[in-house]
Amino acid sequence: MFVFILALLIIWPIAELFVMVQVADWIGFFWMLLLLFLSAVAGFTVLKHRGRAHWRRFRGAIDERRPPAREAFNGVMITAGALLLIIPGFITSALGLILLFPPTRWLLRLVAITLFASKFKVAATSASWGNRGYGYYRSSRRTAYDIDGEAVDVTDRPDGEPLPQLRSGSESGEDQDDRNP
């Protein structure tokens, strides 16, 4: 795995530079730089606006008490796509665009489910209060909480010695003599 990551870190920038040179030869150096800049601006814009929208969808799924797996996957894919758009390079921008389009995200979700479904154990739990809800359960249990008891003022220790009397101002643990030198 380490060798694969190392090879990727060496080969990826070389491939990006090769594609940049090819695009610069095809459309010109200035236009290639402009495309890279516009790709980064588009990535920041997508990250700002679509990130908020998917966060609201994620929170909505939680509020509706349904599993937010689809919203979480879409949010991660859109964030990854936006970050790939921000990174300068045409290969990373193409991968970012693939992650941003809903049909390709759907295909990626299917591939991820088929590849990794056996790796995860899904456990679902639920609590049901019936058709009346939790509020009815709490309101029906109202009873008077009168408890007969007796209060005892303790003035002596169990060994029979009297408790030391607290002076005024010494409740905080400071001695009267320490405060006024």
The full set of domain ranges for the chain reads: 28-118
Comparison of pLDDT for 136 and 56, the residue scoring more: 56
98-114 residues labelled b (16+ CB within 10 A) or e (exposed):
bbbeeeebeeeeeeeee
* Distances from the Cα of 147 to the Cα of 79, 140, 153, angstroms: 58, 20, 19
Pairwise CA distance, residues 136 & 90, whole Å = 60
DSSP state of 166: P
| Cα Rg of the chain, angstroms | 33
| Residue 127 confidence class, pLDDT cut points 50, 70, 90 | low
Which sign does the torsion angle of CA 23, 26, 28, 34 carry? Answer: negative
Is residue 54 within 8 A of residue 80, CB to CB? The reply is no
If pLDDT is split at 50, 70 and 90, which confidence band does 1 have? confident
Q: pTM higher than 0.85, yes or no?
A: no
Q: What is the mean pLDDT of the chain?
A: 78
Calpha distance 60→65 (Å, rounded) = 9
For the stretch 3-48, pLDDT in tens is 888 888 899 999 999 999 999 999 999 999 999 999 999 999 998 8
